[in-house]
């Protein structure tokens, strides 16, 4: 394979001559040509220019890039790759596909990006190596080159390495061990010395499944797992989330009225009982009613006292158990402080809204966060016409709105709480 890389900073690509990449080039399995785009500019100091339409930063000009591509043998139909944060995700599947090419032209984007006409003229594929922004496309170009070249026949000495490594079948690779058998009190698992390859392979598969669940649970949704493996993944998911302390808060102030004015709403008997029962069913550590009004607080505390200490606790112990998780606080900050006092840390705040917001996360995404984070969470629900903008601005996450089949979107808050708890804390993988 011939790999031609076009960049404004050629010295950055020195690592391609080291290790496996360097040996592959010496063996004639691949050739690297790192091309300085500035050599093909009318003025080497002006390979970029300001952005049409206004905006910060500079954009790589089309002429030097196209001149360099054509000088190095590009012709219509040749495979061109551009590195950019705006590209599609670069995956192992893409690496395997590109490894079949005889020639690759890789353009390392830089500054605010590359003039779009280069992409259009060359029908380039745009790739990103992750959801973050780097100072330039040189490092992604090296990452992609390494991932592609190592899949070429003969580059790696042991073909089994390719078959067993992470992402080949979708799961992350199992833990690896070598001598010594015991190091600083930690021993290699005994199963690796049993001599039964089927037992060892079964253990490795189990470890791959566990590691994938812990580090990349999103991958499990796309894999053709066996029924037993999917059940094991569901059990891991359940156990991980069972360990996460989750609380809920129902805010009566500050909330909005239909015209967007900040108001205080009244506590309702149904919200107290039904949300407490749902919270107990899904093992919430606590349910806070945020109500600063003195009369409303007294009314709520009297009701709770009746069911948790008075006559109601004797006639309906199940209701007592549910309402025992309820507390009344003046403000959301008081709920946060109460959680922090119990858990030893401030909770991550998860807001809810019936409106589409720019920073929303899906239930699946938040489930993954909850399974992976070693933190506690406070789910925040609003009464009236929802939480104020000031409250929403404090949220660490905002859940995607609950949507039905039609355009009617006026669920009671207790219904919304129940749906949310089931989607986040219900048993098994969704």
Question: Parallel, antiparallel, or unpaired for β 326-329 and 397-399?
Answer: unpaired
Residue with tokens 């219900």: 426
Query: 253, exposed or middle or buried, with CB in 10 Å at 0-12, 13-18, 19+?
Result: buried
Q: Annotate 356-380 with DSSP letters as a single string.
A: --TTEE-HHHHHHHHHH--S-EEEE
- What gap in Å lies between CA 313 and CA 414, rounded to an integer? 23
How far is residue 173 from each of residues 16, 50, 122, 164, measured CA to CA in Å? 25, 45, 37, 7
**How remote is the C-alpha of 176 from its chain's centroid?**
26
What residue ranges in 318-421 does DSSP mark as E strands?
326-329, 348-351, 360-361, 377-382, 397-399
Number of other CB atoms surrounding residue 137 within 10 Å: 32
Report the top-level CATH class of 2-149: alpha beta
pLDDT given at position 160: 45
Per residue in 294-311, pLDDT (tens digit) is 999 999 999 999 999 999
Cβ neighbours of 327 (radius 10 Å): 18
User: H or E element: which one contains 36?
Assistant: strand 31-36
pLDDT averages per 10-residue partition of the chain, 430 residues = 97 95 96 97 89 87 97 97 94 95 96 93 96 92 97 80 55 90 93 95 91 80 83 76 88 96 97 97 96 96 96 96 97 97 95 88 89 88 96 95 89 96 77
Q: Is 50 strand, coil or helix?
A: strand
Give span(s): CATH 3.40.1280.10, the chain.
Answer: 2-149, 245-425
Task: Label each residue of 64-77 as H, E or C.
Answer: HHHHHHHHCCCCCC
Nearest to 172 by CA among 199, 196, 205, 198: 205
- Fold classification of 182-224 (topology level): 1.10.1270
Q: What is the pLDDT of residue 159?
A: 56
- Measured between alpha carbons, how far is 219 from 212 in angstroms, rounded to an integer? 7
- Cα end-to-end span (Å), the chain: 43
pLDDT of residue 163: 52
pLDDT score for 409: 84
The yes/no answer on whether domain 245-425 falls in CATH 3.40.1280.10 is: yes
**Two tokens, residue 379:** 């789910």
Spatial neighbors of 100 by CB under 8 A, at least 6 apart, are: none
Residue 398 β-bridge partners: 351, 360
CA dist 269 → 69, 281, 282, 305 (Å): 72, 18, 20, 13
**Calpha distance 140→12 (Å, rounded):** 11
DSSP letter, residue 335: H
Tell me the C-alpha distance between 382 and 50, whole Å: 46
Quote the pLDDT of residue 161. 55
Range(s) of the chain covered by CATH 1.10.1270.20:
182-224
- 8-state DSSP, 197: H
What is the pLDDT at residue 216?
Answer: 80
Q: Exposed, middle or buried: residue 161 (CB in 10 Å: 0-12, 13-18, 19+)?
A: exposed
């Amino acid at each position: 394979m011939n790999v031609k890389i076009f960049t404004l900073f050629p010295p950055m690509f020195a690592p391609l001559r080291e290790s496996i990449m360097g040996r592959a080039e010496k063996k004639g399995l691949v050739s690297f040509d790192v091309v300085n785009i500035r050599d093909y500019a009318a003025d080497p100091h002006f390979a970029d220019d300001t952005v049409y339409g206004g905006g910060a930063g500079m954009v790589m000009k089309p002429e030097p890039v196209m001149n360099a591509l054509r000088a190095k043998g590009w012709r219509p139909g040749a495979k061109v790759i551009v590195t950019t944060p705006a590209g599609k995700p670069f995956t192992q599947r893409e690496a395997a596909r590109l490894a079949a090419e005889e020639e690759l032209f890789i353009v390392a984007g830089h500054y605010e990006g590359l003039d779009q006409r280069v992409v259009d003229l060359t029908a380039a594929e745009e790739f990103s190596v992750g959801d973050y922004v780097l100072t330039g496309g040189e490092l992604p170009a090296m990452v992609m080159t390494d991932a592609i070249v190592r899949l070429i026949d003969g580059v790696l000495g042991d073909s089994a390495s390719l078959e067993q490594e992470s992402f080949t079948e979708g799961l992350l690779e199992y833990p690896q061990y070598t001598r010594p058998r015991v190091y600083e009190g930690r021993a290699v698992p005994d199963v690796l010395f049993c001599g039964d390859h089927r037992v060892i392979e079964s253990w490795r598969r189990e470890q791959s499944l566990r590691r994938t669940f812990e580090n990349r649970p999103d991958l499990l949704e796309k894999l053709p797992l066996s029924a037993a493996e999917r059940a094991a993944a569901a059990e891991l998911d359940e156990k991980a989330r069972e360990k996460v302390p989750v609380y809920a808060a129902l805010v009566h102030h500050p909330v909005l009225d239909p015209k967007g004015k900040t108001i205080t709403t009244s506590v309702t008997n149904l919200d107290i009982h039904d949300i407490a029962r749902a919270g107990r069913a899904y093992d919430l550590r606590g349910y806070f009613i945020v109500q600063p009004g003195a009369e409303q607080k007294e009314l709520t505390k009297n009701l709770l006292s009746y069911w948790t200490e008075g006559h109601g606790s004797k006639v309906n112990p199940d209701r007592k158990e549910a309402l025992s998780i309820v507390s009344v606080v003046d403000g959301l900050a008081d709920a946060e402080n109460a959680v922090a006092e119990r858990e030893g840390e401030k909770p991550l705040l998860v807001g809810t809204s019936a409106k589409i917001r720019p920073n929303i996360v899906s239930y699946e995404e938040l489930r993954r966060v909850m399974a992976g984070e070693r933190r506690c969470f406070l789910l925040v629900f609003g009464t009236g016409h929802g939480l104020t903008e000031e409250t929403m601005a404090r949220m660490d996450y905002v859940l995607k709105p609950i949507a039905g089949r039609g355009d009617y979107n006026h669920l009671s808050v207790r219904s919304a709480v129940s749906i949310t708890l089931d989607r986040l804390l219900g048993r098994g993988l969704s």
